[in-house]
Amino acid sequence: MENNNLLPDDVMYGDDAHLVYCTDEDDGDDSNSELEDGDDINEELEDVEDNNIHPEVDEVEPGMVAAADIGSDAESDFNDSDQDNQLPRAQRPNRKRGMTRLPRLRTDYTRSGGRKKLVEFDNLGRFSGKYRALFVSYLGDLVRQKVGLRVFSWKAVEPEERVKLWQQITRFFDVDDCQFKVVMKRMGMLLRNFRRKVYSKYIKPNLGNPRKLAIIPRRYQTIMNDQDVWDKFVAHTQSDKFTDLSGRTTEARKSMKYTHRMGRGGYKTLTEKLVANNVIAKDEHPARSLLWCKGREDKHGDIKPEAKMIADQLMEHEKQIKDGTVLLEPGTFS
């Protein structure tokens, strides 16, 4: 019988044996995201479950507060004018959702007498349970505040500082100590995403404009108030080493043609939605071909033309497997 390997080149299989799509993470960074100094390209292309290449609405869990953003583009973050506030409400420009902050997390912790929120992990080592999204948001908020732009690579964060981060995490969340490396790896990914976003939105568009480059974006002034740290980061992003690494990463990113539409929840949330919509049974392990196709559908159920052909081939292949007309190679999955 014919053996068909129809999965596209940018679908990979991670160490935890679940479907991995390699792309950017979380905050909807553009396709030309920059690589941090000290990280190799293979590490940068790792999958992150909270990917959000085409975000529509950020997920907000109870306890999250979205700080108001200033204006609707990067320009407004450098503009201290309050002219917009003087306009009638109907004429004011739409304001985008700002940073996620978590004051209610601390309030709930205090009011409950110090009761921690349990963080669960599924059999593939991914965050699971009721507080999954809240936990990831807390990690992002924590790493932005405590590490931020002080170092140019997550690898440069000292072990002692990582232990302090872990102590802060376990103050509010009940996390098994054996998951330390998993959590630290996720924090490194979130930090890379934060730096990418800062560079692509506030530095890259203003190259050649020293006045704007010298100003800490208003959006982040509550967590970045050290002008020397900001100036060093701006200078680092204009170095030859950074430019070279950034260029190579950009080229690698361009090779990824089949971007998913799952948002920050990744395959975990997608699987839950398939169960809720009765596409699969609650105890059923979904085929990877089904996850790949559903992960590339927009809210109307449509798939971009460049991915539609691959999706059709995958579903036809899946049908052949169920009908018994195609032979799987040993060790592969449906």
pLDDT tens column, 227-266: 999 999 999 999 999 989 888 888 888 888 888 888 777 8
Q: Say if residues 124 and 17 touch (Cβ distance below 8 Å).
A: yes
Q: Decide if 326 contacts 3 (C-beta within 8 A).
A: yes
- Give percent above pLDDT 70 in the chain: 67
Name the nearest CA neighbour of 171 among 145, 135, 146. 135
* Tens-digit pLDDT profile for residues 194-220: 999 999 999 999 998 999 999 999 888
Higher per-residue pLDDT: 261 or 59: 261
Least Cα distance to 312 among 36, 32, 3, 8 occurs for 8
Rg of the chain, C-alpha, whole Å: 22
Q: What is the DSSP letter of 125?
A: S
The pLDDT tens digits of the residues spanning 85-111 come to 556 666 666 655 555 567 788 888 888
Helices (H) and strands (E) in the chain, counts: 12, 8
| Nearest-angstrom CA–CA distance, 60 and 37 | 31
Q: Which residues contact 217 (CB under 8 A, 6 or more apart)?
A: 74, 77, 78, 198, 201, 202, 224
SS3 68: strand
Contact, 219 vs 77, CB < 8 A?
Answer: yes
- Of 156 and 328, the one with more pLDDT: 156
Burial letters 160-194, b for 16+ CB under 10 A, else e = eebeebbeebbebbebeeeeeeebbebbbbbbbbb
pTM above 0.85, yes or no: no
Q: According to the per-residue pLDDT averaged within each range, which of 25-39, 42-56, 74-88, 285-299 is highest?
A: 285-299
Across residues 123-135, what is the average pLDDT? Answer: 86
